[in-house]
Amino acid sequence: MMHSSYRPKRRYGIFRTPRFLKRFRRNTQASSFSGNNVELYRNGGDFFPAMLREFSRATRHICVEFYIIRNDLTGALFAEALIAAAKRGVAVFLVYDYLGSIETPSAYFRQLEEAGVSCLPFNRPSFKKGLSWFDRRNHRKFAVIDGTCAFLGGINIGNEYAGFGESVIRWRDVGIRLQGPAVGELQRLFITLWKSETGTAPQKIAPPQLPIAQDGTAEVMVVSGGPHHNASFIRSAFRMAIAGASKNVRIITPYFVPGPRIVRSLLRAAKRDVRIQLLLPSVSDVPLVKIASRAYLSPLLKAGIEIYERQGTILHAKILLIDSCWATVGSANFDLRSFHRNYEVNVVIDSPEFGRQLDDMFSEDLKRSRRLTLLEHEKRPWFEKLLERLCDPIRRFL
């Protein structure tokens, strides 16, 4: 008699079936590319030196988008690298979110402009549109160098992102280096955004010289989202990936306000005996979001989903790993703001080798985490439950 848990179609790679890939691309508007190399940086302390080193090697152009750019030591090194490239004759373009970087003095960006870096503040205040401009954010975080390699993840430009994640002033974050045909799609997204904000395309950006990585083995899809889309492609990508899981789902996210659809997707996967592990921060840089997230945890805990809180630091990484081979890395959180209100970009990486690296990283983080139990969660103080209810009307805006 066949065991009830045996599911041959799922057990051997639903993600690689033409039917699944066709549905995924249709529902997420994803662009798909073969022959990529992906390198994981488990900490910002590894990510920044690698990215700045590539800036120093650039010969044609650098396109950079970051939500937050701080005027601190890390920000100074970042500016220094861009200025040095511009002085070599490299065309350098920088997009930063006006509200995300509002604490950074205008003199910081003025020195870049004076050195030849083209700077674009995304969504500068315009009261002609009422207050709607206030809720429009560019949360994307990536850099493209010469159209041949890219860096992306959850990392912003600031000291807290540039360390090794074992204190509340050195956050836990993750980034990747991508080389291959998928880089061209990131460059296209940058050009499209620049043109939509300024009315003209950035000059002196040559098309990518592809193929780049002859020995690349990773299949990569690029999923972008924004308030200009009628449906949330970011959320659809998360939901479809979870629906395709046959063995395990591992999630790292700093902000967990997923809404009912993601919760239903997780519960359905748990009902199929998929092991689900959710890693959240023990201390959040946005305490209100942590309060709001608590309202979603009870049904997950009751379904046997494992929820952990990373200790000793502020967790800011954003990872989804399915069956140790299908990974999503990028700027989007598991929250309603990322799904509906922000400009975001994620890459979906189909690579067993890369998946094993993320598995090892996740397991190491679990050693520094504490598991949350249903009993503990249900015994939380009454005033915490009251605050959760009060957060309900504003969850979409957190």
- Catalytic site positions: 139, 141, 146, 316, 318, 323
- Element (H or E) spanning 138, and its range? strand 137-138
Tokens 């979409």 label which residue? 396
- Burial class (CB within 10 angstroms; exposed 0-12, middle 13-18, buried 19+) of 72: middle
Tally of CB atoms within 10 A around 387: 16
339/85 Cα distance (integer angstroms): 35
Length of the chain: 398
Q: How remote is the C-alpha of 12 from its chain's centroid?
A: 27
261/180 Cα distance (integer angstroms): 34
Cis upstream peptide for 211 (omega within 30°): yes
Instruction: For residue 283, give Cα distances in angstroms to 60, 198, 365.
Output: 42, 39, 15
Instruction: For residue 11, give Cα distances in angstroms to 15, 212, 272, 323, 356.
Output: 10, 33, 12, 9, 17
- Sign, CA dihedral 72-170-352-251, equals negative
Q: Residue 99: what residue type?
A: L
Residue 96: strand pairing partners: 66, 121
Nearest Cα neighbor of 201 from 69, 86, 63 is 63
342/269 Cα distance (integer angstroms): 27
Expressed in angstroms, the distance from the first to the final Cα of the chain is 51
